[in-house]
Structure 1
Amino acid sequence: MANNENAAAAETRPDPEKDLNSWLPITASRKAKWWYSAFHNVTAMVGAGVLGLPFALSQLGWIPGVLTIVASWLITLYSLWQMVEMHEIVPGKRFDRYSELGEHVFGPKLGYWIVMPQQMMVQVASDIVYMVTGGKSLHKVFELIDPSVFEGARLTYFILIFLAIHLVLSQIPNFNSLKGVSFLAAIMSASYSTLACLTSIIKGNKHRPSSYGVRSHTTVGQFFDSLNGLGTIAFAFAGHSVALEIQATIPSTPEKPSKKPMWWGVLAAYAIVAWCYFSVAISGYWAFGQFVEDDILISLRKPAWLIALANFMVFIHVVGSYQVFAMPVFDLIESNMVKHLHCTPGRTLRIFSRTTYVAFTAFVGICIPFFGGLLGFFGGLVFSSTSYFIPCIMWLIVKKPKRWSFHWIASWISIIVGVVIAILAPIGGMRQIILSSKSYKMFS
């Protein structure tokens, strides 16, 4: 009798882990549709990276640059499919976070520390770059509207405006509540990519370069520039770091698993990504050649009203992108503060943790606002691992495909390409940052 009462009590006793998941931003709501996945993925991918693709072509050249973008698109689509499939690879269990899948594949302790630091570096690095991009885009809008007043204005001021917006938006409680912001951001990304493409074509028809070369005229410079170009392209495919978290917002049953609507969303997103990336990269390099800026919209100056509109669209888009990448960080910070510091889940915790994080990314962005170098450095350092080869390594361990089968070959190709980028690209990115820093004054 006593045993029955104890069993009944155990069944009715609240599960702390379940209660916490019902509050944390990733798992609080599971009501997303497949099209939510589409615009979340577009918002996550088509961000600051697309603006730097013409610059990457100017460092790599026509054929190597275009082939690298094509290869990256195919490899990352394949590795993203692997992640979607592995979300529910254990019947009855969902791996809602990248680190949870890592724990399952590599072991509880080792897996967490393999995946979590790299994922968080991707999230934080993206948000730092978006701080810089948002500030630069807003600065450009005002500069084009009234050059006499805003041409000499400090970039720092505009990054602080971007900071103020995110101090408010960061209080959005969970990922699914972000759908409106993310939807608007996805529309903006397709819109400014189209504007950048059309304006580049118009510009190129009037003053197209007579020949196309690479930026540097020395062998050493060309080598380091090509490394930075690889990192810039890798940065453009950063959505994998938040893919499982996006899938976690989709409902799932044994009859209707979440991988089906998630995959439809991924395919729709990658079609939009292909249009944005190839149109901007090819038209931008075609119009300006090796003289294109690290942000294509800086090269495009006329008509002023149209470029101002495009920059404002970029500003709106990176507002959404920042929040998409910040959600897993909020989730990690808040779960650790509750579990290890015994903080009470609630508004006070969210205000403190999220405000601190937003302020930190703004401070770093103000200190090192070197767009091109940041893309190359971070793109190679951690983006290549989370998007190119960690999913493939997990797939090989879990699925154990036969040697020389399609999935075995495809996984190993992705791993080799990703490792090469991870080793080489940060070198080029760091060099770009060092060169840019020579003419930079802090808080200017």
Structure 2
Amino acid sequence: MSMTVSKDDKSPRHHLRLYKTAAPKNELAPKKSPISGHRTRHCTLSDCSIFSSKTEISPANSIRILAQSPAMGFDDSEGSSSSSRLDPAALLPRHGGSGKTRLSSQPKTFANVFIAVVGSGVLGLPYTFSRTGWAAGSILLLAVAALTYHCMMLLVASRHRLADEHPKIASFGDLGAAVYGAAGRHTVDAMLVLSQASFCIGYLLFIANTLAHLYPIGGSSASSPLLTAKALFIWAMLPFQLGLNSIKTLTLLAPLSIFADVVDLGAMGVVLGQDAATWLAEKPPVFAFGGPAEILYGLGVAVYAFEGIGMVLPLEAEAADKRKFGGTLGLSMAFIAVMYGLFGAMGYLAFGASTRDIITTNLGAGWLSVTVQLGLCINLFFTMPVMMNPVYEVAERLLHGKRYAWWLRWILVVFVGLMAMLVPNFADFLSLVGSSVCVLLGFVLPAAFHLKVMGADIGWPGLVSDVAIIGVGLALSLSGTWTSLAQMISGSPNS
């Protein structure tokens, strides 16, 4: 297309003509997905090699790092010192001969949701059931799963509504920026950083408690929490973690996410088998419902166990049939809820009041039990650098001009280690993180974004629903955080 114009023609039409002649049409209008306005030129979970993978904190949730990394506010022009050193091939969509992005089928989406949500937090569920009761714990898990699914779909609906005005929303943080500007992005970033750092504290706490159980050293009368058996194991790990967290690229650590998934599922299978055998042999007394304080405690752990809000937008973007994404997501969440309920209830039914905060420490001293526990420790140890990466991205952007800073990473690793030494109980810590950060990130923010985006168009039912989620979420966050802190200060009986 060519047009002749005067050099002095400064009208908008002149600029439009120049724009039309500057590039072929297919370069100016990227192909859109079936959802109006949503562009498909981005990295997808299935197409990023590091994605076999937030988590969670959990080993299985190393997928969350890259699902959440875009929320940290780094676009192509402002890559962080961490993200810019990833293998570019690992972060670009793979193209076939036709040049089209490869999208995920429903089974693959189901598997990605499972991998993203299920993590080591599940190992604290039996102890939580010993506090809430087996029936109350099961109901809590189902309710939290349903609410988590609802809030995930609120994010999807909000992105669809903004697709024409903001076609490049690829993450939770992007959505926050589109809805509330810089304040929205910074809020999401802060919550994600807190959650990632908390996950890593949980990693070190799990590893140290497990090793202290398997290989007791020192005594229980240490004069300082920095000198307990748990703390000594953390001190021993820190030099190696400093080295691992100094690595500039995550590509070398990516295969560990697959190992983490396999070990997690294997551990759950072994624990369920031993739980069933123990329950049939002993059948200790159990109860169905605990008091209000225990319910709040269990709510925090349940929210923590289902934390995965940061992955929903990338997963929906890569789904081949976006109309069926909601159904696939719901089916996956329902499956996880049933599996969680079975795992938590069986652990509590098997050991009763003697259920420990990490269920694997209730297992015997057989070689299979020890192998499972050591396998979990190893994969958590090597997954921690991956989970810390979003923290480094934000810290290096704010404090070191987006440049790599090994000394800043070392400070953060030592800080995380010190926090892990001071936390007395694994499940108590899960409840604290779930009640505070995860409730705000998973429930309050999605409802607030949806309310702002939809406005009066959602009608009274939707308006009441969003306002109720925000109000109840804030109330539960405050009360649950207070309950969890009080429990951590007073100490748990089975730490």
- Normalising by the residue count of structure 2, what TM-score does the alignment of the two structures yield? 0.69
| More off after superposition, 149-158 vs 324-333 | 149-158
Mapping 1:298-317, distance limit 5 Å: 298-300=361-363, 302-317=364-379
Partner residue, 1:115: 188
Which residue of 417, 425, 436 corresponds with 2:480?
Answer: 425
Cα distance in 1 for partners of 2:260, 2:150 equals 25
2:180 alignment partner AA: F
Cα distance in 1 for partners of 2:251, 2:337 equals 25
SS at match of 1:402: helix
After superposition, the C-alpha distances for 1:140-171 in whole angstroms (9 at most, x for unaligned) are 4x43xxx7x79988222322344344334434
Partner residue, 1:219: none
SS at match of 1:385: helix
After superposition, the C-alpha distances for 1:177-217 in whole angstroms (9 at most, x for unaligned) are 654222221222222122211111111111111442667xx
Q: Does 1:243 align with 2:305?
A: no
Which residue of 423, 434, 437 corresponds with 1:368?
Answer: 423
- Relative distance call for 1:408 and 1:389 in structure 2 (3 A) is same
Cα distance in 2 for partners of 1:362, 1:36 equals 36
Cα distance in 2 for partners of 1:17, 1:114 equals 17
Tell me the CA shift for residue 432 of structure 1: 1.5
Tell me the CA shift for residue 399 of structure 1: 3.0
| More off after superposition, 271-280 vs 21-30 | 21-30
- Relative distance call for 1:66 and 1:317 in structure 2 (3 A) is farther
Cα distance in 2 for partners of 1:171, 1:31 equals 27
Q: Does 1:101 align with 2:175?
A: yes
Tell me the CA shift for residue 223 of structure 1: 3.8
Mapping 1:348-427, distance limit 5 Å: 349-400=404-455, 401-404=457-460, 411=466, 414-415=469-470, 417-427=472-482
Which residue of 327, 342, 350 corresponds with 1:287?
Answer: 350
1:225 alignment partner AA: E
Partner residue, 2:148: 76
Mapping 1:27-42, distance limit 5 Å: 29-31=91-93, 34=104, 42=114
1:197 alignment partner AA: L
Cα distance in 1 for partners of 2:201, 2:211 equals 16
Partner residue, 2:491: 436
Figure out how many residues of one structure are paired with residues of the other and give that number. 405
Partner residue, 1:218: none
Would you say the 8 A contact 2:136–2:288 is kept in 1?
A: no
Q: Does 1:334 align with 2:396?
A: yes
- Relative distance call for 1:175 and 1:319 in structure 2 (3 A) is same
Would you say the 8 A contact 2:357–2:425 is kept in 1?
A: no
Would you say the 8 A contact 1:56–1:230 is kept in 2?
A: no
Cα distance in 1 for partners of 2:341, 2:449 equals 30
Partner residue, 1:233: 302
Tell me the CA shift for residue 437 of structure 1: 8.7
Partner residue, 2:78: 20
Highest relative contact order (Cα 8 Å, sep 6+), 1 or 2?
1
Would you say the 8 A contact 1:50–1:276 is kept in 2?
A: no
- Relative distance call for 1:17 and 1:317 in structure 2 (3 A) is closer
1:402 alignment partner AA: I
Mapping 1:112-151, distance limit 5 Å: 112-140=185-213, 142-143=214-215
After superposition, the C-alpha distances for 1:369-408 in whole angstroms (9 at most, x for unaligned) are 4213212222111111111221122122213452255x65
- Structure number with bigger Rg: 2
Structure (1 or 2) with the greater helix fraction = 1
Tell me the CA shift for residue 294 of structure 1: 1.6
Tell me the CA shift for residue 172 of structure 1: 5.1
Q: Does 1:206 align with 2:261?
A: no
- Relative distance call for 1:97 and 1:402 in structure 2 (3 A) is closer
Would you say the 8 A contact 2:282–2:350 is kept in 1?
A: yes
Cα distance in 2 for partners of 1:86, 1:175 equals 31
Cα distance in 2 for partners of 1:234, 1:324 equals 22
Would you say the 8 A contact 2:177–2:185 is kept in 1?
A: yes
Cα distance in 1 for partners of 2:124, 2:295 equals 13
Cα distance in 2 for partners of 1:151, 1:389 equals 44
2:380 alignment partner AA: V
Q: Does 1:63 align with 2:172?
A: no
Tell me the CA shift for residue 361 of structure 1: 0.5
Would you say the 8 A contact 1:39–1:186 is kept in 2?
A: no
User: Structure 1 unaligned runs (5+)?
Assistant: 216-221
Would you say the 8 A contact 1:58–1:292 is kept in 2?
A: yes
- Relative distance call for 1:197 and 1:95 in structure 2 (3 A) is same
Partner residue, 2:38: none
| More off after superposition, 222-231 vs 361-370 | 222-231
| More off after superposition, 161-170 vs 23-32 | 23-32
| More off after superposition, 99-108 vs 407-416 | 407-416
Tell me the CA shift for residue 262 of structure 1: 8.6
SS at match of 2:491: helix
Partner residue, 2:32: none
1:292 alignment partner AA: T
Would you say the 8 A contact 2:136–2:289 is kept in 1?
A: no
Q: Does 1:297 align with 2:360?
A: yes
User: Structure 2 unaligned runs (5+)?
Assistant: 1-6, 23-73, 95-102, 221-227
| More off after superposition, 150-159 vs 327-336 | 150-159
Would you say the 8 A contact 2:286–2:349 is kept in 1?
A: no
1:124 alignment partner AA: A
1:224 alignment partner AA: A
| More off after superposition, 313-322 vs 285-294 | 313-322
Would you say the 8 A contact 1:36–1:179 is kept in 2?
A: no
Mapping 1:2-13, distance limit 5 Å: none
Would you say the 8 A contact 1:182–1:320 is kept in 2?
A: no
Tell me the CA shift for residue 307 of structure 1: 2.0
2:172 alignment partner AA: Y
Cα distance in 2 for partners of 1:125, 1:396 equals 29
| More off after superposition, 158-167 vs 198-207 | 158-167
- Relative distance call for 1:282 and 1:439 in structure 2 (3 A) is closer
- Relative distance call for 1:42 and 1:189 in structure 2 (3 A) is farther
Would you say the 8 A contact 1:227–1:427 is kept in 2?
A: no
